[in-house]
A and B are shown apart, each in its own frame.
Chain A
Amino acid sequence: MDFIEVKNVSKVFRINRRKSGVTGMLANLFVPKYEKKEAVKNLNFSIGQGEMVGFIGPNGAGKSTTIKMLSGILFPESGEITVGGFIPYKQRKTYVGSIGVVFGQKSQLQWDLPVIDSFELLKAIYRVPEGVYKKNLDRYTGMLDMGGFLNQPVRQLSLGQRMRADIVAALLHSPKIVFFDEPTIGVDVVGKETIRNFIRDLNRQDHVTMIFTTHDMQDIEKTCDRLIIIDKGSKVYDGTLPGIRERYGTTRQLDVEFVEHKEVAPIPKVEIIELDNNKKRFVFESHEVHINELMDHLLSHYNIRDINISEPEIESIIRKIYSGEYL
């Protein structure tokens, strides 16, 4: 059995449909009307110990709901979840002692106090032994270059500094698994890079299992080996990052610059788009048209100055998956 097992998990929310007007308000209070919304539908996946998995999907896809179920905040409606031998929503107090959660949008630090005070409080809450605390604190603050602001009140920190402090806060008790929920949101480029490097290093060195949700594909490209995409509550992709290009990124485009302006005769299964300055773009599917044959055809019929092949960006593939083009 893998470290994290999610089997046939579904979650249905009942959403209170509000009626307007004072009478509606009162009716709502005493006889509420509910509407069902399936946030997660029959979800299955498993994650091994020490894996680093990107968990992405458009807004409302069920990411947060899944993370909440994995961390024990919510019960699943049906199906089973086990994490490291625990059923998250059953043995709460023991279970949550072994996980760390970073919410990029919600700090767990004490707003008015120096960062270090929040850490001391967490040490007491999680019963972290002095030695372990000292070791973790020194190591993580060193890796994240936090020495300069440990004694500064949280309210005076920049967003990037605060996020780094929040990450350390989630790690002080040496969790076996860490959930990152948008840990780079609002952080500047340099800050993002620091956070990504830290997360990657920690995963490689300590084999901490990590699940990472984000809207920034660069976060995933720079940290995760594996990617799970969900949409409308269901899993639509589970595999490696290069794998996604193999599976969906089959569109190729060939930009050709001709020596002189010339009409090109239509080619079967290839879309031709007119660009400026004697340039044309040829768009086709790699399994339908052989690139060699197409190039041969072009080179033998026309005078060509320059040729350039490109694969689609991961980002645009993901966008297409979200918009349902591949379904």
Chain B
Amino acid sequence: MRDIMHLVGVYTKTTARSWFQYRVDALLRSLAVFLRESTGVIVIYFTLLKFDNLNGWNIHELLFLYSLLFLTYGIMIIFFTGLRDFGRMVRSGNFDRFILRPRGLLFQLIFANADWFAAVGHGGLGLVLFVISAGKVGVIWNFKTVVYYLFAIMGGVLIQGAVFLFLATLNIYLFETSSLKELFYYNMRKFAGYPISIFHRAVQIIIIYIMPFAFVNYFPAQYLLRKEDMEGYPQIFLYLTPVVGVGMYLLAYLFWKFSIKYYKSSGN
């Protein structure tokens, strides 16, 4: 354990030093991530200055909805930034180098390239939004709601992590997956920033059953806020987030394990 902590420390020091070779960029990095991810929030803010609600959701409720998406993403990305560049690593053959080192593969992927700056930017945005909105959305924070909230966050982290791990693993089979990721992950996440009830039925089906971002933020937010548009969905959805999270993550992890075997038998 001490040995692992030591290695994590050295990895982190090395990555940080690499970044600080380019001082201006490193200093601006968290800010840039923060701003980039705020784009959606700024859009919501300006839009709601003009129109006072979106399908019954006011600005604070929308920000609360958004904050769940980014808090979970921020926590997930602390562990999974290394997977973001996994495709490039497989293509260039640098992944072979990881196989040649006496450490766990997922461990190396996670810590060798951990992008703490991005994590600070993402998580920071989630936190800021939560602080701004949590007191103004009429949620009574008692034991029950806090426990629910924590479980929802955990489930959301696992769902996001599962999708991320799954998309990264696809790189073992497909030559170029960045556009697939753009389409299914980043774009779906943009939908998930809004109450999904406003979108076409087809979009809702995708976001509930295929890329289940709805369980990351929409349903947990509904449990706490109880907006009218929840009527369109089964009540049970309000409680499924942790189950969906654990289930999806297990599936993604099994897929990863299977794919590493495949990689070793097929090369690339």
Residues of B within 8 A of A234 (CB): none
Q: Which of A107-115, A221-229, A301-309 contacts B (4 or more CB under 8 A)?
A: A107-115
Residues of A within 8 A of B6 (CB): 124
Residues of A within 8 A of B264 (CB): 73-75, 89
| Residue A153 lies at the interface, judged by CB distance under 8 Å to chain B | yes
Q: Which of B101, B174, B266, B267 contacts A125 (CB 8 A)?
A: B101
Interface of A is mostly: mixed
Count residues of chain B with CB under 8 A from any CB of chain A.
26
Determine if A74 and B102 form an interchain contact, defined as CB atoms under 8 angstroms apart.
Answer: no
Other A-B pairs, 9, CB within 8 Å; known A65-B267, A97-B102, A106-B93: A13-B267, A89-B264, A94-B102, A96-B99, A103-B93, A110-B14, A120-B10, A124-B11, A125-B102
Assuming the contacts A72-B99, A74-B265, asked whether A121 and B11 have C-beta atoms less than 8 A apart, the reply is: yes
When chains A and B are docked, how far (Å) is the Cα of A75 from the Cα of B267? 9
Q: Which of B21, B94, B99, B267 contacts A106 (CB 8 A)?
A: B94
A-contact bits for B6-43, CB 8 A (1 contact / 0 none) = 11001100100110011000000000000000000000
B139 CB to closest chain A CB (Å) equals: 45
Residues of A within 8 A of B18 (CB): 110-113
> Which A-chain residue is minimally distant from B174 (CB atoms)?
A29
Residues of B within 8 A of A153 (CB): 21
| Residue B96 lies at the interface, judged by CB distance under 8 Å to chain A | yes
| Residue B200 lies at the interface, judged by CB distance under 8 Å to chain A | no
Determine if A13 and B266 form an interchain contact, defined as CB atoms under 8 angstroms apart.
Answer: yes
> Which A-chain residue is minimally distant from B103 (CB atoms)?
A125
| Residue A19 lies at the interface, judged by CB distance under 8 Å to chain B | no
**Residues of chain B from 23 to 68 with CB closer than 8 A to chain A in the complex:** none
> Which B-chain residue is minimally distant from A173 (CB atoms)?
B102
| Residue A126 lies at the interface, judged by CB distance under 8 Å to chain B | yes
When chains A and B are docked, how far (Å) is the Cα of A108 from the Cα of B100? 11
When chains A and B are docked, how far (Å) is the Cα of A71 from the Cα of B92? 18
Can you offer 30 A-B residue contacts whose CB atoms are under 8 A? A13-B266, A14-B266, A65-B267, A68-B96, A68-B267, A71-B100, A72-B99, A72-B100, A73-B96, A73-B100, A73-B267, A74-B264, A74-B265, A92-B102, A93-B104, A94-B102, A106-B97, A110-B18, A111-B18, A112-B21, A113-B14, A113-B18, A117-B14, A117-B17, A120-B10, A120-B14, A124-B7, A124-B10, A125-B7, A125-B101
> Which B-chain residue is minimally distant from A125 (CB atoms)?
B101
B-contact bits for A181-215, CB 8 A (1 contact / 0 none) = 00000000000000000000000000000000000
> Which B-chain residue is minimally distant from A179 (CB atoms)?
B100
B-contact bits for A59-96, CB 8 A (1 contact / 0 none) = 00000010010011111010000000000010011101
A102 CB to closest chain B CB (Å) equals: 11
When chains A and B are docked, how far (Å) is the Cα of A92 from the Cα of B99? 8
When chains A and B are docked, how far (Å) is the Cα of A96 from the Cα of B267? 18
Determine if B7 and A96 form an interchain contact, defined as CB atoms under 8 angstroms apart.
Answer: no
| Residue A4 lies at the interface, judged by CB distance under 8 Å to chain B | no
| Residue B231 lies at the interface, judged by CB distance under 8 Å to chain A | no
When chains A and B are docked, how far (Å) is the Cα of A93 from the Cα of B104? 7
> Which A-chain residue is minimally distant from B261 (CB atoms)?
A75
Residues of A within 8 A of B100 (CB): 71-73, 96, 99, 101
Residues of B within 8 A of A121 (CB): 10-11, 14
B253 CB to closest chain A CB (Å) equals: 18
When chains A and B are docked, how far (Å) is the Cα of A95 from the Cα of B94? 19
| Residue B228 lies at the interface, judged by CB distance under 8 Å to chain A | no
A87 CB to closest chain B CB (Å) equals: 13
Assuming the contacts A14-B266, A75-B265, asked whether A113 and B21 have C-beta atoms less than 8 A apart, the reply is: yes
| Residue A269 lies at the interface, judged by CB distance under 8 Å to chain B | no
**Residues of chain A from 12 to 35 with CB closer than 8 A to chain B in the complex:** 13-14, 29
